[in-house]
């Protein structure tokens, strides 16, 4: 409706937004949700 957006810009926008949120989750839980594995020792002691 208001001009055609630049697709690359849109894709970058999504990447940036998602990366920020993923980073925040990693730090909060010391867990890598993309790889499904615990990160170095942090506030949470993970066990399978």
Site residues, another protein (CB under 8 A): 1-7, 9-11, 13-15, 17-19, 21-22, 25, 28-29, 31, 33-34, 36, 38, 43-48
Rounded Cα gap, residues 48 and 39, in angstroms: 13
Residue 8: CB minimum distance to another protein, A: 12
Residue 19: CB minimum distance to another protein, A: 7
> Whose Cβ is closer to another protein: residue 3's or residue 40's?
3
Is residue 40 within 8 Å of 48, Cβ to Cβ?
A: no
* Residue 26 CB partners (closer than 8 Å, separation 6+): 32, 33, 39
């Amino acid at each position: 409706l208001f001009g055609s957006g630049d697709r690359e810009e849109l894709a970058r926008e999504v990447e940036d937004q998602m990366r920020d949120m993923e980073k925040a989750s990693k730090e909060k839980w010391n867990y890598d949700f993309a790889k499904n594995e615990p990160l170095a020792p942090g506030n949470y002691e993970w066990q399978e």
